[in-house]
A and B are shown apart, each in its own frame.
Chain A
Amino acid sequence: MKNKKLRLGLPRALFYYYYAPWWETFWQALGVEVVVSPPTNKEIMDLGVSLAVAEACLPVKIYYGHTAWLAGQVDVLFVPRLVSVEKKSFICPKLMGLPDMLRAAVKPCPPIIDTVINCVRQPQEGLAAAVEDMAGRVGFRGREVQSAREAAQERYLCWLERQQMGRANGATDLTSASAAGAAVSETGKPGLIDSAPAQAGSLKVGLVGHAYLIHDRFLSMDIPAKVKKMGGEITLPENLPPDQIALACRQLPKRLFWTLGQKIMGSVLSLIEQDSIAGIIHLTAFGCGPDSLVGDLAERYARRRGTPFLLLTIDEHTGEAGVNTRLEAFMDMLPRRYSA
């Protein structure tokens, strides 16, 4: 297996937007050729929509599309079974079943590395087991794996830090080694969401939602750029320090057991405390289970605080015209309210 470089497919969807630097660095350090699918486009979306069950949420359908796009061109696919990435918290049932769902739908389907990532009880041990399993699937163990892991971790932490400072976004600023190439936006910058301070007098707006929605320019219809154009200055959940988010969540009567739900809830709770925030936009996918409850809760807290809150639900049928109108109306109303 080590003679010829193994081609490993990494779908550019879902948790790619949270862990891409880690995954890419790790596999590359082990001498694996990583092939990342191209940024979501119409073809990939249509492919995903045609393969997934109609009731699944759009991000999962998109994941199907990326997987199907990669299926014919790689030796193996990396679709980890993400059960939990931190203690006592889960991701979402659909991610726990994703490898099995793909095997049932994508035909022919290359072998899938479906390593279970489960940190729900013992995060350290869970992660170690996952790393060992991942490497073991391609025939590596011992020192090599350890150093690959260290390299991955270092890259990841550095990326997280940059993200917090608002200078990086969901993975697309990495010079990916993949043949598929990185996302290049109209401005020439690789898919960077610039949340650095804009011109004076701009309105500060919180934009919350899962990274795999916001940072996928096709899915989000580039809402961050739109908001900026309308004079908004955006704060994303990734821009907030994690401990601030965790702290804000403590005011809930019951701990939230969804990792991403906590991110959204905590961001909203800490943003509504800041007087400089004029309003909050929640971007969600139609059919997202956790968001259906967390989003509602967040909206209630924001409303009680008097912070304007816009819920934007998208699916494969969402027309861009409708989204623009809603965004414009919201952004037009903010200064009136905010200055009053």
Chain B
Amino acid sequence: MKKIYLGIDVGSVSTNLIAFASPEEMLASVYLRTYGQPIQAIQEGLKQIVTLLGKAEVAGVGVTGSGRALAAVMTGADVVKNEITAHAVAASFVVPDVQTVVEIGGQDSKLIILRQGVVTDFAMNTVCAAGTGSFLDQQAARIGISIEEFGPQALKAKNPVRIAGRCAVFAESDMIHKQQQGHSLEDILAGLCEALVRNYLNNVGKGKEILAPVVFQGGVAANAGMCQAFNRALNIEVIVPKQYNVMGAFGAALLAREAKLESSSFRGFELIDRHFSSNGFDCQGCANRCEVVEFREGERVLARWGDRCGKWSNAVAV
């Protein structure tokens, strides 16, 4: 039986899982929509891993993403890391001398600066959705093309239009305006890519020294129009790794492997069939009225979080 490392990245838009025995050879890679139901997404992802690999022996599990706390409790992860660190680790594995990581996912974007293999600076954009995958999806849908066609179409542009817009709402209204003025679809798509890249560089990339090699990852890296816009804006050919859309999960698995564990605390693939649930309640203990989330397996409370004072989270020993 193979000894594998699992990486799980639970984001707000997608949940990704990967498995490898050695990092040079990815054995399985699963990309799922989270649809606001991380528990189901994790279970489905693990199910697909089992389908692909059989019940392999798990040597270590790393989790990351905004749902990492939940994923950690649920799976019994060995390593719980934030997305920045996970992405940086993954990128420097793929391109060892990487100096800049551009990551644009479904709902947030990040920039990580590395020097001599160490993160020296980073920035992320969590509030604004403009320039992220969801926005591109939306616009593609509005124009009536699939997101897969988006990139190739944008590449055909001869004269990209300038689209203004700090946030998604403004950018959309300006785009509609440009459409009505009769610009071609290709030019508008390419213009949109350029606007997003410009916004990204001016907000997330503000004051950061972007040096080659630049690795471009996250779901949006699939979009050739975006790659070209980055190439032009930076005057650097960006590198898109082949695992571009599961780099977070890959990094988490690498971190689990680096931890050199005696044995994993993974709770086993049986958890695919167990019943997990989470529900929130407002604590009435004080005026803070914290929204406490309670995470259960069957009837048993596995963890609670969300309280400020620690009254609830300290009450369960995990």
State the A residues within 8 Å of B (CB).
49-50, 53-54, 105, 315-322
Contact = CB atoms under 8 A, between A and B. Distances in A.
Nearest to A61: B202
Contact of B164 (A49, A53, A105, A319): A319
Interface in B163-206: 164-167, 170, 173-174, 177, 199, 201-203, 206
Interface pairs A-B: 6 shortest CB-CB: A317-B166, A319-B164, A319-B174, A321-B177, A54-B206, A317-B164
A106 B237 CA distance: 26
A319 B170 contact: yes
B232 to A, nearest CB: 14
B207 interface: yes
A322 B199 CA distance: 19
B211 to A, nearest CB: 16
11 contacts: A50-B202, A53-B207, A54-B206, A315-B166, A316-B202, A317-B164, A317-B165, A317-B166, A318-B164, A321-B174, A321-B177
Contact of A319 (B177, B199, B202, B203): B177
Contacts of B164: 317-320
A302 B199 CA distance: 36
B206 A53 contact: yes
Contacts of A321: 173-174, 177
Given A317-B164, A317-B199, A322-B174, 5 more contacts: A49-B202, A50-B206, A318-B170, A319-B164, A319-B173
B236 to A, nearest CB: 16
B202 A54 contact: yes
A54 B165 contact: no
Nearest to B205: A50
Contacts of A53: 206-207
A65 to B, nearest CB: 13
Nearest to B173: A322
Interface of B: 164-167, 170, 173-174, 177, 199, 201-203, 206-207
Contacts of A49: 202
B128 to A, nearest CB: 11
Max chain B Cβ within 10 angstroms of own Cβ: one of A49, A53, A319: A319
Contacts of A315: 166
Contacts of B165: 317, 319
Nearest to A105: B207
Given A317-B164, A317-B165, A322 B203 contact: no
Contacts of A50: 201-202, 206
A317 B199 CA distance: 9
Nearest to B177: A321
Contacts of A319: 164-165, 170, 173-174, 177
Contacts of A105: 207
B140 to A, nearest CB: 21
B167 to A, nearest CB: 8
Contacts of B202: 49-50, 54, 316
Contacts of B203: 54
A320 B170 CA distance: 11
A100 B3 CA distance: 57
Nearest to B174: A319
Nearest to B181: A321
A49 B201 CA distance: 10
A317 B165 CA distance: 5
Contacts of B206: 50, 53-54
A315 B170 CA distance: 12
A316 B201 CA distance: 14
A322 B207 CA distance: 30
Contacts of A320: 164
B176 to A, nearest CB: 9
A120 to B, nearest CB: 32
A6 B296 CA distance: 76
B12 to A, nearest CB: 23
Contacts of B177: 319, 321
Max chain B Cβ within 10 angstroms of own Cβ: one of A50, A317, A321, A322: A317
A64 to B, nearest CB: 12
B170 A317 contact: yes
A67 B179 CA distance: 36
Contacts of B201: 50
Nearest to A50: B202
Nearest to A286: B166
Contacts of A317: 164-167, 170, 199
